[in-house]
Structure 1
């Protein structure tokens, strides 16, 4: 039996709750899951969400969740400026931790979280669910098998349009306390894919942009926007591969795009998150008369797709990836091999983000570990 606590019940809190409810049904090899205690900003909201999500208890104080002796693992889904205090407290109380990305607004806070995880001896993983996609896992297999030869260049983009409207009101993601903006809100996801597929980033050259300098508040006044909705970076990986990383939260028409292009000596691989269950593969070993991109459609041969749907072409979705991630977390807790990004690996992503921000401020190439 695994006792679960949840802090935060917004979009990602609900995703975690759905994953905890679905993981045993999907995989069948996990211990029984008990949803013990939900914490929110106030008791009324906590009671309402606990009833909706299936938690036995509710509190308007996150500390009560962490202190609950019936809880083995805490899901932390609050805005990232609250992560450091909550994460360290959970680990020091002896709980395993599933924390949404990014780790924290500052590198020092992220480092303190990683230090607490190592000291606790508990499992602490971050919510980088895109690495769990059967399509991404198959791309990793293709790379490991050398299907496109030696990789020499990659391009990765992440775009959404939830901040594209200049008349949309100011909210917490426009505050400097939340971080840099698209760089740590968005770029961490492409960086998780880069780290999972290729390893660490060595050096960066970054630029950031703020398309709308101010936004209207609830009182009707204008407030300066303190974060950057656009970031563009040149990157060099430690393995010698060059690349570009482009992110934009103000890209009209883009809803959930993570576009990955990988170029090798014998072919290339394309993936677009908006075509979630497809991979495009080009190989020079085809006859010249048939060379071209082929579409690989995800299906049961691409694990763990078959845990959800027995037929190809029906497609998985975002919440299925959270369920897969939940299963990997449980494997890590049980001491089995797991495809997760722990706090130490996550700290390398944070290190890269802060190197990019420093590059922007200093207008130069920056060594990530320099």
Structure 2
């Protein structure tokens, strides 16, 4: 497969992650052509030139639209704030580019639907940046579940907690505005939903409660503004497979930094995983003498592929950015017409519809069925 030409829009934390992944995918995997980092777009020409120099891009621009007509650009990485995803992804797809867009798809369901329609019309690969599903540990858990290692799954609990909104004196920002979405549900709740989809399929129906720990937040220039979305949400879900799930998300949870705690309960055992300890999981299997039964901790190692592409020894640990490199390799495979472990716009739209059904459930105070 020929080397891909890359355009990048946005160079915040996730933009840097994408750039690092494009730069690392050949050294790590060794079975692809080195991507050519062609164009970088930022909010000004000056900032774009600075970031292009730092991240290894050949050209820089303060207007992201300028490189869409370049026939050498094959893939556009979109890492801008959520409210800009739809316009940029649709424009890139209509220009004949593959798209790698960070989550969530969009802040409005209609925009997410337009993105999927544009992807279907284009015939191009359009995927979302759900890198937690790339963890070799998650891949192994999926295999264990498919092999029946804990019997038939009957209940799942998954929680995502961080504390970046825990301090009530944190100034009001776009994160607390309706323009950025429902709050914790779509700000990061889509991440546990991506894990649920990867392990168990799509959501069928939901009932939701949401909370605002802070009713208002101070403005940087003085005064205060009412918080327009919710930092905490609790959801009961029924999957299409029939499995019952409890989802809890909280971005005001003091002491939690990057927790995605997954508990899977089956007829013959249980599996536990926590993103804050992403290189290990625990498994309980109800077999053998009762007095010897207990949870076993399993450390990630080179036998949990593609861990071996990064580290030759077990227990030495991968990190967040390594998952992005794996995701980048999966994207290259998909562009080459090969099977890939990704969430495309079609399945991503189902995740978005799940989020919007949760918000509708809260408004209606009852169960809501997720549109297929």
TM-score normalised by length of structure 1: 0.99
For 2:138 and 2:174, the matched residues in 1 are separated by 31
The residue aligned with 2:44 is: 42
For 1:62 and 1:325, the matched residues in 2 are separated by 23
Which of 316, 319, 322 pairs up with 1:320? 322
The residue aligned with 1:235 is: 237
- Which secondary structure state, in structure 1, belongs to the residue aligned with residue 217 of structure 2? strand
Which of 194, 197, 204 pairs up with 2:196? 194
**How far did 1:221 drift?**
2.0
The residue aligned with 2:281 is: 279
Question: Cα RMSD (Å) of the superposition?
Answer: 0.8
The residue aligned with 1:345 is: 347
- Which secondary structure state, in structure 2, belongs to the residue aligned with residue 369 of structure 1? coil
For 1:64 and 1:116, the matched residues in 2 are separated by 20
Bigger mean CA offset, 165-174 vs 290-299: 165-174
TM-score normalised by length of structure 2: 0.98
- Which secondary structure state, in structure 2, belongs to the residue aligned with residue 190 of structure 1? helix
- Which secondary structure state, in structure 2, belongs to the residue aligned with residue 310 of structure 1? coil
Bigger mean CA offset, 215-224 vs 244-253: 215-224
- Which secondary structure state, in structure 1, belongs to the residue aligned with residue 124 of structure 2? coil
Which of 105, 108, 111 pairs up with 1:109? 111
For 1:204 and 1:170, the matched residues in 2 are separated by 30
For 1:172 and 1:69, the matched residues in 2 are separated by 35
Q: How big is each residue's C-alpha offset from its partner over 1:91-121, in whole Å with a ceiling of 9 and x where there is no partner?
A: 0000000000000111111000000001000
Q: Can you give the 5+ residue segments of structure 2 that lack an aligned partner in the other structure? A: none
Q: Is the 8 A contact 1:207 1:233 kept in 2?
A: yes
Q: 1:86 to 1:240 in 2, by over 3 A?
A: same
Which of 18, 36, 43 pairs up with 1:16? 18
Check if 1:26 corresponds to 2:31.
no
Bigger mean CA offset, 248-257 vs 62-71: 62-71
The residue aligned with 2:130 is: 128
Which of 297, 303, 306 pairs up with 1:304? 306
The aligned length equals 370
Bigger mean CA offset, 182-191 vs 214-223: 214-223
- Which secondary structure state, in structure 1, belongs to the residue aligned with residue 255 of structure 2? coil
For 2:201 and 2:289, the matched residues in 1 are separated by 33
For 1:49 and 1:43, the matched residues in 2 are separated by 10
Structure 1 segments (4+ residues) deviating >4 Å:
none
The residue aligned with 2:269 is: 267
For 1:369 and 1:238, the matched residues in 2 are separated by 12
- Which secondary structure state, in structure 2, belongs to the residue aligned with residue 161 of structure 1? coil
The residue aligned with 1:174 is: 176
Check if 1:91 corresponds to 2:108.
no
**How far did 1:6 drift?**
0.3
- Which secondary structure state, in structure 2, belongs to the residue aligned with residue 156 of structure 1? strand
For 2:17 and 2:161, the matched residues in 1 are separated by 21
Q: Can you give the 5+ residue segments of structure 1 that lack an aligned partner in the other structure? A: none
